[in-house]
Each structure stands twice: as C-alpha cells, then as structure tokens.
Amino acid sequence: MSKPLRVTVWNEFHHEKTNKDIKKLYPKGMHEQIAQYLRGLEGVEARTATLDEPEHGLTDEVLAATDVLTWWGHMAHHEVRDEIVDKVQQRVLEGMGLIVLHSGHYSKIFRKLMGTSCSLKWREIGERERLWVIEPGHPIVEGLEKEYFEIPAVEMYGERFDIPAPDTLVLISWFQGGEVFRSGCCYHRGKGKVFYFRPGHESLPIYYHEDVLRIIGNACRWAAPLCSAPAITWDNVQPLEEVRK
Amino acid sequence: MSKPLRVTVWNEFHHEKTNKDIKKLYPKGMHEQIAQYLRGLEGVEARTATLDEPEHGLTDEVLAATDVLTWWGHMAHHEVRDEIVDKVQQRVLEGMGLIVLHSGHYSKIFRKLMGTSCSLKWREIGERERLWVIEPGHPIVEGLEKEYFEIPAVEMYGERFDIPAPDTLVLISWFQGGEVFRSGCCYHRGKGKVFYFRPGHESLPIYYHEDVLRIIGNACRWAAPLCSAPAITWDNVQPLEEVRK
Amino acid sequence: MSKPLRVTVWNEFHHEKTNKDIKKLYPKGMHEQIAQYLRGLEGVEARTATLDEPEHGLTDEVLAATDVLTWWGHMAHHEVRDEIVDKVQQRVLEGMGLIVLHSGHYSKIFRKLMGTSCSLKWREIGERERLWVIEPGHPIVEGLEKEYFEIPAVEMYGERFDIPAPDTLVLISWFQGGEVFRSGCCYHRGKGKVFYFRPGHESLPIYYHEDVLRIIGNACRWAAPLCSAPAITWDNVQPLEEVRK
Amino acid sequence: MSKPLRVTVWNEFHHEKTNKDIKKLYPKGMHEQIAQYLRGLEGVEARTATLDEPEHGLTDEVLAATDVLTWWGHMAHHEVRDEIVDKVQQRVLEGMGLIVLHSGHYSKIFRKLMGTSCSLKWREIGERERLWVIEPGHPIVEGLEKEYFEIPAVEMYGERFDIPAPDTLVLISWFQGGEVFRSGCCYHRGKGKVFYFRPGHESLPIYYHEDVLRIIGNACRWAAPLCSAPAITWDNVQPLEEVRK
C-alpha cells in the first residue's frame, strides 16, 4: 500500500485551445485542473496525456506505468486511433482502472468496453442537477457530507442511457428539466475496474466543484489494480483431477 | 402472444462438411438438429442460416424477420464479415434475442457485445459435466426435472471465463477434471436479451440431449423481444418541465 | 400456458372504510379496482383478500391456490400476524410471485424478504412524478408507448431507499420537488420473483392510471411461478462421484 | 486511513470446549486462531467475542467499537438472542462490515440479512475442494498467487444455496463428490458490506490454511465502513425545489 497510485489524466484538449471562454475557464486544460486536484491527495501521482501528443500521449511506456486512466473526450472521439483504443482495452482487462468522464460516454474505449451504443439524451440550457447517493456504503462516496450534491448549471444527460446495467449503481441524477440519469456506474471488466461519472463540461466550471473532484479522487482509489492479482491461465489445460470413464 | 416466435438458427457449418464422423453425427448440420427441436415447440418457427450462404444467410430481410438468433461458430469466426456482425449487434440493441452456444463464446458478435476477451480454459478428453441450476425460479430452467443434469462426455470449458458478470447466473458446471464454469448467463443489452449457454460440440451428440435442447428452447422464449417496447428518443431533447433560474 | 394465472390482490382496506373521500375514490377498495383490471387480462384470474378477514384472507388454501400475490398496506402493517407473514415468505421461496405496491415498502413481508429497513423519504403535497424506463427490453414494460409516463399528483418517495440493489432496475422516478427513486425493482428470492412498484396512494386515483395498471398486469405475468420448476434437495446428500483419497 | 481497522471475531465456541479432538486442533478456539492472524496484519486490531459471554460478548460498547464483525456459529444458532441479532443487523445497516463464515450460513443474523432460507446441501466425508477465482480484479483476492486454491479435506456445501444473487460473486467451489458452490459472495446491505465465505469447519485445520486466512483478512479490509459516509435523512422531508401546479 506504500506504492503511489499512478493516475494518467487523459483529455482531448481541443475545446480549450479553440474557444476563448473555455480557455479562460480551464487555462491549462481540464486535464491539468483534474490532475492538480489528484496531486493534492496522499499517495497519488498524476500525469496528463492529450489527443494531439504522439500516440495521444498513451505510449506503451505510459500505459504500462498507469494504474488508473481518466478519460475526457467530446468532439474528436473519431480521431482517437483504433490501435491505441485496443491497447487501452487490453490494459483494462489486465487490471488498469478506467474513469470515464461526461462526454467520454461516446468515446471509442467506453463503447468498446460496454458493447452497447452508450447513447443518451442531452440538452444544454444550463439547468440544475442534483446527484443522489444510491449506495451510501460505497467507497466512491467516501467523505461526502450530504446524501446529494448539486451543480447549479450543467449540460443535461437523460435516460435511456444505453449501457449494460452497472455492477453497482452509486449515483442517480435529477435534472430541473424533468429527466433522471445513472450518473455513477461501476463495472468489473477483466481484471480492471471501470467507473462512469457523468459530471463535467468544457464550458462550465464543473471540475472546480469540490464534490465532483472528491468523487473522481475516490474513484481513482477504488479502480486501482490489485498489488498482486492471481495469475490466470487461458486456453488448453491439463486436468487437475484424474479422469476415469 | 398469438404471433409465432421466429428463430433463426445460425451455424458455421464447416465441421459437418469436412469431417466424416461429424457428418455422421449431424448429417444436416447442428443447425438442422436444433431447428428441428424448436419446430416441435408450440408457437415457434425456426429457419436456419449458415456461414457460406450469401451474407452468411443473414440478409437485412432475414434479420428483420428474426425474433431470436442462435449462434454456433468455432473454426471460422474470422470469416464472419464485420458488417454482418455490426448489423446483428444493432438488431440485438433494437430488441432481437441472441443465444450464443458453446464455442460461440469466441465469436465476433459475442465478444463485441461483451466488451471483454471472452477467453476461457478448455480441454477435450471427453470427461463428464454436471450442470447445476443456480436460479431455480428462472424461466430458462422451466421443465427440468432435477436441479442438475449431466452430459457424459464433453469438451471442458473452465473459469476464469473473461465475461462481464451476468445480470442473472442460471447454471454453473462441474467438470470431472476439476474445473467449474458459469454455463448459463443472462444479459440485457440495449432492448435485447442475450443468453450464453455452454453445452455443444461438433463431435459429440450434445444437441441430442433432452435437457440441453429444452434449455435452448426456453432461452429462445425468454429472449423474445417485447411485442411492443417503449419508443426511445436519443440525442438533443427539449425540457419536459419549465426551467427557471 | 393454458392454465390461468391466479392472482390474489391483498389490501389492508382500512382507509377506504374510515375516510369518506377515499371511499368515494375506491368504493370497493383499492383491491377491487386492481382486481377488476386484472380480470380483464387474457388468462388471468384475480381474487382479493383483506386484513380484517380471518387469517387476513390468506388461509393455507388461498395461498396454495395463489400464483402471484399483490400487497398494499399502510397504516396497519403491525396488525398483520407474524405467522401469516412467515407463510407468505415460505410461499415466495417456493415460487409464488409477490408484487409489493407503494406503502407496502414498509410491510412486514417486504422487509423480511429484503433484510433491510426499507426506509425512504416521503412528502405529500401532490407533486408531479415522471417514471422513466431504464430497461426497455424487460417484459414488465411491455406495451408502454413512451419511455416515461407521468402521474400528475402523487405522494413522493425519495432516495435513499434502503433496499438491496435490485437484480434488475426497471424504472426510476423523477419528482417535481427534487428527488429521484428506484420505482420498479425486480428480485429473485428462492424460487419466487418479487417486484416492488412505487405508484399508488389511498387518496389519489393512481390505480385508475392506465400505465400503472399495465405495469401491475405485466409484473403479475413476469412473477408467475414456473409450471414445473426443478426439484431441490437440501441437507445431507450422498456424493454423485466416487471420492477417493 | 491511519486509524486501525477494529475487527471483532465472534465464535460460538462450543465445539472446542466439548470435543477433545477439536480442542486439540483449536486449543483457544477458532476465534483466537483467526484473531491471531488478523493481528499480524498492518493496521488491523482484532478482539474476540463468544456465545457464552454476557450478551454473547456483543455489548453496545463492543458493537460501537467494531468496524467489521466475523461470525462463526453452528450447533447453537438458536441460542443467540434475538435482541443481539437485531442490534448486529442495525449496526450492519449503519455501516459495520460482516464476514459470515462456513456454517454461519444458518445463523440468525445471516438469514435475517438475506431474507431467504440460506439452505444448502452438505456432506462430511473429508473430500477435496478447489475454490476458483471468478472476479480476479476484486480486492478480496488480493495476493492470491494462483487462480484457485485447494483444501485437501472439507465438509462439502453444495448448490442450490438459497441466497439472493450476490452483488459480486468472487469464488466458486468445485467438490470431489460432484457439486459446486458460490463460496465467496459480496453484498451491500444498508451502509454495510457483507461477505459470505464458505471455508471452515470445527474438526478440520481449515483456519490454518494460508489462502483461507488471506481472504478473511482481505474481506475485513473490503468490508470496512467508510471513514465518513454521507448522512441520510429518512421520513418526511421538505421539497428541494419549488413545486408549482
């Protein structure tokens, strides 16, 4: 437990470069805002990676040295190269944690791991969201004071969210305009753990929200790979017991 | 409920054409053996489709007229064209049932819907398997007399089976050589229902086994699409409530 | 499938006798309103039973002849005798379906089957509820036209609802006052199937709502026991395989 | 994280006092053997409590100072007083972890929390058991070298195990005599986490088995309550949003 948790915060990082208001909100990009929060947590190391870097910043070396990867993408999902997506999937199945944020629901990696369309409803009028804790003993809600928290202005995501039913449903959102959403969804996939977390938007200060950051931090800890997971044998095997007919 | 359930039984249908012993066992192919059983069930219609037919027998017309598709493949998974796989996935998400049999665990369509490697252990020495009912109130075990059934000689599949935890686990297998396996696994994916069922092998008379056939029949009924499912709206939507700030 | 589904609609039936307005709304009691709907469904027979009848109307004969029991109680949960609750639990574990309605969340039978407090938040100001379909391929939502339905004035129930996570979550409610709720929850318990369904209130015409009734009817069909479930052996058993050391 | 995890190891502690051979095997009782192991883990404190102590050793003070309770009982389940069982249940719902061992499947507390009979098959001929890891990324299997471990001679427990489907199924057992069993089952109940773990027997040295002990230790860590869980409000609440009609 004394080894640091190594998080790589991945961001598409286009909006922040092409839109003045967004740049003002996240001058170094959303990834730096999230990484800075994580760096303040005991035992956590955070680096960043972005789409326009070589191999999207996700070289074999980086992936091998990543315990948990967080993912934010939106307008350029299609620019993410398939072979990088395959490598990320492989790493998740081997044990790397993956935290998918907001519009990352439509990323290649999330859709690939879910096997469904991951479609949903959306609306961008800056309405209020209230996220309710559904599983109050889950480590991802550690340290929340209340059983809900509010975000004053958000892009709405509404059900039907076309995902497999989560292994554990931690949060459900209420929206002013009349919708609900499964906003905190835990999955085991292979040896890896995946958490989808709804909040976030390029043009709103959501990654400055204390409870949103707290949950991202908790999720990184929850999704950490085992220090030592049992080795698995695949394919053709010899019997462990004598087989007589 | 008066409309017939339209099942399409898909088979790779290579083994039965290239191996004499297998041909003797399943003279018209495993698909015909399964389809013949299904045709004997009240309210069920069954057609077949195979890999070497144009579009693998899965034209848009066939898929549109299929309520439940059963899938057996083994040596030629890679020959299944990706655009057909994409269409099948789309139809499942729209509500078509899918029953994946035995070595179909490694089919493109199953791996795509699961999002994991679907790897497992295997061994082919003709050992005994005993399938235990874990959820005895589930419609898929309707009509089984006992809480387990045995198959005298099988190809073994052993855990770790790299799948998402099923929504409902119905059967667990015991093998003589010392392994266990989640042999009956139910999933909701989109509006569709998916059932993975382990038994089956090209060179063994497993699709003549009364309980195996019974479960395939039950699974087809369980996986039937709704007669009338709620319509879903995706993407950008107007608020259902007045939003005031 | 040709045997009728035998439903017993249980109601506390106190409110309707002691309050004029409620009596006006449900002149024969909520149970008769629900039973009348069920009797209109093909292949369904419905009888009723109420608290003040001998053995609460749930004699051994009635329970033995009940495939699915629906339960509405509120002010007199404590008057339900423990030995009757034990018998109902036993019948559920043997395969009888149980549909728990609205304030039945606090009934002895539901709490006993869940193992938790089944506590929740509530408020009675006649606000609007919108129930969203979360699992659109589930038979309980068969025939709903839209992916949500609204009830104009309800008693609100809000999360945290202290229940085990449902095996399948079918509906989530949105409330005008800012809460959410898991309103349609499926469970397997023993050989029986249990469905909790939130809508209903003694002083509101909720059991006249077309979609509410439809879901109750669908839930009865879903919760039906198997025609022939596998027999289970408990306790001390002989080995099925030779055990050598 | 710097606060120690306070485990109370509860044992019926009758067998060890009444049977010479068992006394020889566990001279201070199974509880001391388990507690001694736990005391060797970093950050873990373990005390013990037994049936014949006043209030079964589970006074309000002890329960209040217990983060995780482990439970072993067998011949004297009925001697556990109902009011103590109620207090333990209440503490679990408030967040205390509970690890139920072997014949504890039939304890009042486990049956109460599960809501089912918790019946199973059993046989005592000293056969071999092999426990397979089904969820290799789960923290409860941290540090296991292989994907299975064997216990050379056990009392067999076989399916059907009449429990609710676990939230996460971590281990499945294979038995020489032909049965299988869900041997490691995780549940959320209220704010508490519950783990059922099959191995253990009064007359066999199972609590000296390295992997069995390791899993008990891991389960205690997994079941630890949150340091600070969100506060929950029950019952009648005011709206959080303006409700206009």
HEC profile of chain C: CCCCEEEEEEECCCHHHHCHHHHHHCCCCHHHHHHHHHHCCCCEEEEEEECCCHHHHCCHHHHHCCCEEEEECCCCHHHCCHHHHHHHHHHHHHCCEEEEEHHHHHCHHHHHHHCCCCCCEEEEEEEEEEEEECCCCCHHHCCCCECEEEEEEEEEEECCCCCCCCCEEEEEEEECCCCEEEEEEEEEECCEEEEEECCCCCCCHHHHCHHHHHHHHHHHHHCCCCCCCCECCCEECCCCCCCCC
Is residue D1 pLDDT above 70, yes or no?
A: no
What is the three-class DSSP state of B222? helix
The chains found to touch D (3+ Cβ pairs under 8 angstroms) are: A, B, C
Residues of D in contact with B158 (CB under 8 A): 132
CB contact under 8 A, D174 and B180: yes
Pick A162's closest partner by Cβ from B125, B160, B190: B190
Long-range contact list for A112-115, CB < 8 A, 24+ apart?
A112/A85, A112/B115, A113/A89, A113/A187, A113/A189, A113/A194, A113/B115, A113/B116, A114/A163, A114/A164, A114/A187, A114/B115, A115/A164, A115/B89, A115/B112, A115/B113, A115/B114, A115/B115, A115/B189
| Tokens standing for residue A30 | 């959303």
Is residue B2 pLDDT above 80, yes or no?
A: no
Q: What is the pLDDT of residue C213?
A: 98
CA distance B106 to D115: 38
The mean per-residue pLDDT over the stretch A212-236 comes to 97
Distance from the Cα of A124 to chain D's closest Cα (Å) equals 20
The reply to whether B239 touches chain D by the CB within 8 Å rule is no
Distance from the Cα of A131 to chain C's closest Cα (Å) equals 9
Q: What is the pLDDT of residue C67?
A: 98
A-C CB pairs within 8 A amount to 54
What is the three-class DSSP state of A210? helix
Nearest-by-CA chain D residue for A128? D241
Question: Is pTM beyond 0.80 here?
Answer: yes
CB contact under 8 A, D159 and B135: no
Pick B121's closest partner by Cβ from A115, A165, A235: A235
Specify whether the CB–CB gap between C103 and B190 falls below 8 A. Answer: no
Structural element, H or E, at residue B1: none
Closest by CA position to D170, among listed B160, A90, A141: B160
Q: Which of D162, D167, D181, D193 to mutate to test binding with chain C, by most C CBs within 10 Å of its CB?
A: D162
Q: What is the pLDDT of residue D199?
A: 98
CB contact under 8 A, A122 and B239: no
Q: What is the pLDDT of residue B244?
A: 84
Residues of C in contact with D130 (CB under 8 A): none
Residues of B in contact with C215 (CB under 8 A): none
Cα distance from N-terminal residue to C-terminal residue, chain A: 49
Q: What is the pLDDT of residue C245?
A: 73
Residues of B in contact with A126 (CB under 8 A): 245
Indicate the burial class of D153 (C-beta count within 10 angstroms; 0-12, 13-18, 19 or more): middle
Q: What is the pLDDT of residue B159?
A: 98
Long-range contact list for A86-92, CB < 8 A, 24+ apart?
A87/A58, A87/A60, A87/A63, A88/A58, A88/A63, A89/A113, A89/B115, A91/A63, A91/A66, A91/A192, A92/A189, A92/A190, A92/A192, A92/A194
Residues of A in contact with D149 (CB under 8 A): none
Is residue B188 pLDDT above 90, yes or no?
A: yes
Q: What is the pLDDT of residue B245?
A: 73
| Tokens standing for residue B184 | 């009956």
In this structure, the number of other CB atoms found within 10 A of the CB of residue D240 comes to 16
The mean per-residue pLDDT over the stretch D31-53 comes to 98
CA distance C95 to C189: 9
CA distance D29 to B1: 61
CA distance D133 to D147: 5
Q: Which of C103, C108, C129, C189 to mutate to test binding with chain D, by most D CBs within 10 Å of its CB?
A: C189
pLDDT tens digits, one per residue of B25-76: 999 999 999 999 999 999 999 999 999 999 999 999 999 999 999 999 999 9
Using CA atoms, how far residue C110 sits from C81, C84, C106, C185, in Å, is 14, 13, 7, 12
pLDDT tens digits, one per residue of D99-140: 999 999 999 999 999 999 999 999 999 999 999 999 999 999
pLDDT tens digits, one per residue of D208-234: 999 999 999 999 999 999 999 999 999
Residues of D in contact with C188 (CB under 8 A): 164-165
Residues of B in contact with D159 (CB under 8 A): 132-134, 147, 172
pLDDT tens digits, one per residue of A166-203: 999 999 999 999 999 999 999 999 999 999 999 999 99
Q: What is the pLDDT of residue D244?
A: 84
The reply to whether B233 touches chain C by the CB within 8 Å rule is yes
| Tokens standing for residue A124 | 């961008």
Specify whether the CB–CB gap between B97 and B69 falls below 8 A. Answer: yes
Vertex B207, ends B205 and B212: CA angle to 5°? 120
Q: Go through D48-82 and write b for each residue having 16 or more CB atoms within 10 A of its CB, e for each that does not.
A: bbbbeeeebbbeeebbeebbbbbbbbbeebeebee
DSSP string, D93-160: HHT-EEEEEGGGGGSHHHHHHH-S----EEEEEEEEEEEEES-TTSGGGTT-SBSEEEEEEEEEEESP
Indicate the burial class of C40 (C-beta count within 10 angstroms; 0-12, 13-18, 19 or more): exposed
Pick B113's closest partner by Cβ from A115, A120, A158: A115
CB contact under 8 A, C134 and A182: yes
Q: What is the mean pLDDT of chain D?
A: 97
Nearest-by-CA chain C residue for D191? C162
CB contact under 8 A, B121 and A188: no
Q: What is the pLDDT of residue C79?
A: 98
| Tokens standing for residue C228 | 């022939």
Residues of B in contact with A119 (CB under 8 A): 234-235
The reply to whether A81 touches chain B by the CB within 8 Å rule is no
Residues of A in contact with B113 (CB under 8 A): 115-116
The reply to whether D162 touches chain C by the CB within 8 Å rule is yes
Residues of A in contact with C156 (CB under 8 A): none
> What are the residues facing A6 on neighbouring strands?
A45
CA distance A176 to D242: 11
The reply to whether D167 touches chain A by the CB within 8 Å rule is yes
What is the three-class DSSP state of D28? coil
What is the three-class DSSP state of A172? strand
| Tokens standing for residue B65 | 């007229």
Closest by CA position to C67, among listed A167, D136, B137: B137
| Percentages (nearest 5) of helix, strand, coil residues in chain D | 30, 30, 40
DSSP string, A128-170: EEEEEES-TTSGGGTT-SBSEEEEEEEEEEESPP-SPPPSEEE
Nearest-by-CA chain D residue for A136? D191
Q: What is the pLDDT of residue D245?
A: 73
Residues of C in contact with B144 (CB under 8 A): 228-230
Residue showing tokens 């305009």: A177
Residues of chain C with pLDDT under 70: 1
pLDDT tens digits, one per residue of C152-206: 999 999 999 999 999 999 999 999 999 999 999 999 999 999 999 999 999 999 9
| Tokens standing for residue B182 | 């989640």
How many Å is the Cα radius of gyration of chain A? 19
Q: What is the pLDDT of residue A245?
A: 73
Pick C146's closest partner by Cβ from B135, B227, B231: B231
pLDDT tens digits, one per residue of A106-152: 999 999 999 999 999 999 999 999 999 999 999 999 999 999 999 99
How many Å is the Cα radius of gyration of chain D? 19
CA distance B148 to D178: 11
What are the backbone dihedrals phi and psi of residue C158, each rounded to the nearest 5 degrees, phi first?
-125, 155
**HSE-up of B229 (CA within 13 Å, CB side)?**
21
C-D CB pairs within 8 A amount to 111
CB contact under 8 A, D127 and C243: yes
Long-range contact list for C114-118, CB < 8 A, 24+ apart?
C114/C163, C114/C164, C114/C187, C114/D115, C115/C164, C115/D89, C115/D112, C115/D113, C115/D114, C115/D115, C115/D189, C116/C162, C116/C163, C116/C164, C116/D93, C116/D113, C116/D189, C116/D190, C117/C162, C117/D93, C117/D190, C118/C161, C118/C162, C118/C163
CB contact under 8 A, C134 and A160: yes
pLDDT tens digits, one per residue of B165-183: 999 999 999 999 999 999 9
The chains found to touch C (3+ Cβ pairs under 8 angstroms) are: A, B, D
Is residue A18 pLDDT above 80, yes or no?
A: yes
Q: Which of C142, C176, C222 to mutate to test binding with chain B, by most B CBs within 10 Å of its CB?
A: C142
The reply to whether B89 touches chain D by the CB within 8 Å rule is no
The mean per-residue pLDDT over the stretch B134-139 comes to 98
The reply to whether C226 touches chain D by the CB within 8 Å rule is no
**How does strand B5-11 pair with strand A235-236?**
unpaired
Nearest-by-CA chain C residue for B191? C137
Is residue B195 pLDDT above 80, yes or no?
A: yes
* D207 Rama sector, left if φ>0, alpha if ψ -120 to 50, beta otherwise: alpha
CA distance C120 to C101: 14
CA distance B232 to B55: 29
Indicate the burial class of A36 (C-beta count within 10 angstroms; 0-12, 13-18, 19 or more): middle
CB contact under 8 A, B172 and D178: no
